[in-house]
Structure 1
Amino acid sequence: MLASTAYAAIDEESQFVLNTFSFLIWGALVMWMCAGFAMLESGSVRTKNASAICLKNIGLYSVAGLTYYLIGYNLMYTDVGSWIGSVTFLYGPSADELALLSGDETAKASVIKQNYATMSDWFFQMVFVATAASVVSGALAERVKLWSFLTFTTLLTAIVYPIVGAWTWGGGWLNQMGFQDFAGSTIVHSTGGWAALAGIMVVGPRAGKFRSNGSVKVTPPSNVPLVTLGVLILWFGWLGFNGGSQLALGSVSDAVAMSNVLVNTNLAAASGVVTALLISRPPVRAR
């Protein structure tokens, strides 16, 4: 019989590196969801509107990145009271991190105590903001012009989303009442959904959606392969969205929990597909 092997506990610096790497790699995976939304939406609309949809998705990601850097993150996480955080501009590395980058090795211990690099957390949170805006993009497809949508996105990502986030992940009043949201089902998806509903109520239905007698005019997807590609990219991206929400990869328990999250996410997606196939008639039958 082989003797049992004793493994040394992971040191704090390795925990810092693994946690930071987790934020960055999962954040990059969530960023890839922007491509999934673009493919899904552009393939679902009429061909003449596909290019506008693609431009909107690139634009919203750019706007979200800038606004969340300028004011959104501080409003959501810095000095949060019960309702909002600090109304200050710009966010950056901690003083200890800047000192370390300047060659001051004495700052290393303080940086390691943070458990992760400051800007890695910002990056991971930023891609969540962009996802909330992408929910609105899909709902308002073929309904609004580019600059109107980007203006709406600016308000959503700079003010609305950060305030909702401050109530919860930022430690505000909802968090103080015991509210929990592991991966943004409310903060990201409900906020995006409510914003989309508000936009729909203002702008109304798509042009040509209803006939003169009030009946719905069905408009099939213009490019089914693009829709399929978008769905698969989003499926892939959601593994990072939910898995990264463990927010750490510096211990055995974190690794086990993250593995379970990825498996559950995949099972949920697969179950949804199979359920839809069972209860709905496929649009195209094999011959």
Structure 2
Amino acid sequence: MTNQTPAPPYDYSPIVDRDPIVWPDGKKVAVHIGLNVEHFVFDRPSTSIWPGTAELTPDALNHGWRDYGSRVGIWRTIESLDRHGVRPSVLLNSSVVDAYPQIIAAGVDRDWTWLAHGRTNSELHTGLSIDEERRVLAEITETIRTATGRSPRGWMGPGLTETHRTPELLAELGYSYVLDWTHDDQPFPLTVPDMFSVPYSVELNDLLLFCKGLTGPDFLQMVVDSYEQLLADSATSGRVLPIALHPFVIGQPFRHKYLDQALAYLAAQPDAWLTTTDEIVDAYRAQL
């Protein structure tokens, strides 16, 4: 018996060979804000701005940097989202439910779309047996459902991590899409029945951009440039513009106004559909 080489959970499909996608009301570019609402375990190495202290306990420098998002940055970001009428697609660590209940309450009041984003971003979703993973996913799902009143339909792993079984196990729990595969400008079916991929970005992503030295004006220009190119591409079929945000990054005072300007720009575009990942996958599935 030969060993089967693992394959990604999707088939190759060049964008030029697909049936056209039509977004609601004749819109051309579906824009979603992927708002990462995360919890990091104290005294465990996690996302860091300065690796020199990441292994220390306590690591006041990096933990404080991350914690700025839940204490300050998220509230500044919420003000801007509200001002421009944008409902984010929230990538939620389930441990946020206990750690920051005020954020959950704010999102419920605003009818945010909730996606599961693992338990904590201090743990990657990897190295699990099938039984362990089934239990972990069920616990994450139930925690979010109980806190928000809705079962999440979308998944993005912490650090965009999955096992080879994750899409299949998510389908068992009633999920319909993942954001982990960042390689397309459109939704598409996975090889797991009734499961889809929805675009997310590790390029137009504040955490990666600003930690490489780019500035607020750079971020704003990238949003504009991305929208203009996708709008041009949409002459043949609808496109998706994902913008990935982390409150401890974009919520810093010297960056915030550029997010606000980017949202103002997008809200003023007649061909932009400011929407959520749930609505994107529903509109796409209805056309299959």
TM range (shorter): under 0.3
- For the pair shown, the structure with the greater C-alpha radius of gyration is 1
Which structure has greater helix proportion? 1
Which structure has greater strand proportion? 2
TM-score for the superposition, normalised by structure 1: 0.27
